């Protein structure tokens, strides 16, 4: 976000804080699924104008004490101010785009809880289910990024808006697929198998299915690369290209990782991230 031109920075930063807060609510350990689902539902209602007083009391009394990450705890403690910032933003052109992307993200987070915890399912069964989930929690961010870009910058891209939105959606979906593929063992331990139609106990089948989805993720990142190259602002181009460069490197690591290495964690080094930050300015 620091790479972005000033005109894009505020709406993107506000949307990021809202999404980070909802993600924290969805993932806080020690909270029951019903409470997390309830808090996410209330989060969305507040964005649409509901009173937040009772929700903030529940957040303070039942959620924040269970949060051990100090940065995320600080964010949750500031939610009254974050919501106020969002509602003060109402007259800005980017307000509707922030509301739309948060509606998608919150839907995806609630759906995850409904499917794997409240519904007691352990795996997806169809490709369309994984595609839908990736759109709701990440692909919609590519759409949002495009809308904010065209609102904020007179000459955002050499590609027309609707086509660019589609490319941005694919880019976000590709990045989310990488997260899923990287976290397979961890998710399985929590009773979640995101790869459709595969037996979670069959490691060979899991690895073969993962290879299929890595190929799809690469294709989606190809759209992301073309998206970034089309942007007129060098700072916006660099900010947009950077996640894709890190994602491609992560896929390279995943291509050669064993299940044991996946369990240990596959991650691009900090040194490489710094290198990609520099390379992003020359995409």
121-147 pLDDT per residue, tens: 888 999 999 999 999 999 999 999 999
Q: Which alpha helices (DSSP H) does 61-195 contain, by range?
A: 70-77, 79-88, 95-113, 127-134, 140-152, 161-182, 184-189
Using CB atoms within 10 Å of the CB of residue 192, give its burial: 0 to 12 exposed, 13 to 18 middle, 19+ buried.
Answer: buried
Partners of 157 in the beta sheet? 231
CB-based contacts of 9, cutoff 8 Å, min separation 6:
1, 2
**Most trustworthy range by pLDDT among 38-47, 88-97, 182-191:** 38-47
Which residue from 227, 241, 224 is spatially nearest to 281, judged by alpha carbons?
Answer: 241
Q: In terms of residues, how long is the chain? A: 283
- Given a cut of 90, is residue 159 above it in pLDDT? yes
165-181 pLDDT per residue, tens: 999 999 999 999 999 99
- Given a cut of 90, is residue 1 above it in pLDDT? no
Q: Which value, in Å, is the radius of gyration of the alpha carbons in the chain?
A: 19
CA dist., res. 226 & res. 93, Å (int): 26
Which residue from 97, 102, 109, 108 is spatially nearest to 132, judged by alpha carbons?
Answer: 108
Which residue from 151, 155, 163 is spatially nearest to 227, judged by alpha carbons?
Answer: 163
């Amino acid at each position: 976000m620091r790479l972005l031109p000033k005109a894009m920075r505020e709406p993107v930063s506000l949307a990021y804080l809202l999404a980070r807060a909802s993600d924290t609510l969805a993932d806080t350990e020690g909270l029951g699924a019903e409470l997390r689902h309830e808090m996410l539902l209330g989060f969305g209602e507040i964005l649409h104008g509901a009173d937040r007083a009772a929700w903030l009391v529940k957040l303070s009394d039942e959620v924040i004490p269970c949060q051990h990450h100090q940065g995320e705890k600080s964010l949750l403690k500031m939610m009254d101010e974050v919501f106020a910032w969002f509602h003060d933003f109402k007259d800005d052109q980017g307000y509707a785009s922030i509301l739309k992307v948060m509606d998608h993200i919150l839907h995806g987070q609630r759906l995850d809880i409904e499917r794997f915890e409240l519904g007691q399912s352990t795996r997806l069964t169809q490709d369309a289910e994984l595609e839908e989930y990736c759109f709701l929690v990440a692909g919609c961010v590519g759409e949002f990024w495009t809308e904010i870009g065209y609102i904020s910058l007179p000459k955002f891209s050499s590609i027309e808006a609707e086509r660019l939105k589609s490319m941005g959606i694919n880019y976000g979906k590709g990045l989310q697929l990488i997260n899923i593929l990287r976290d397979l063992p961890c998710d399985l331990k929590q009773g979640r198998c995101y790869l459709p139609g595969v037996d979670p106990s069959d490691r060979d089948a899991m690895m073969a299915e993962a290879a299929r989805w890595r190929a799809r993720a690469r294709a989606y990142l190809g759209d992301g690369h073309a998206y970034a190259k089309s942007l007129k602002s060098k700072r916006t181009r660099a900010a947009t290209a950077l996640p894709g460069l890190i994602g491609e490197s992560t896929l390279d690591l995943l291509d050669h990782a064993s299940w044991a290495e996946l369990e240990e964690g596959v991650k691009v080094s900090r040194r490489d991230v710094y290198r990609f930050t520099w390379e992003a300015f020359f995409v």
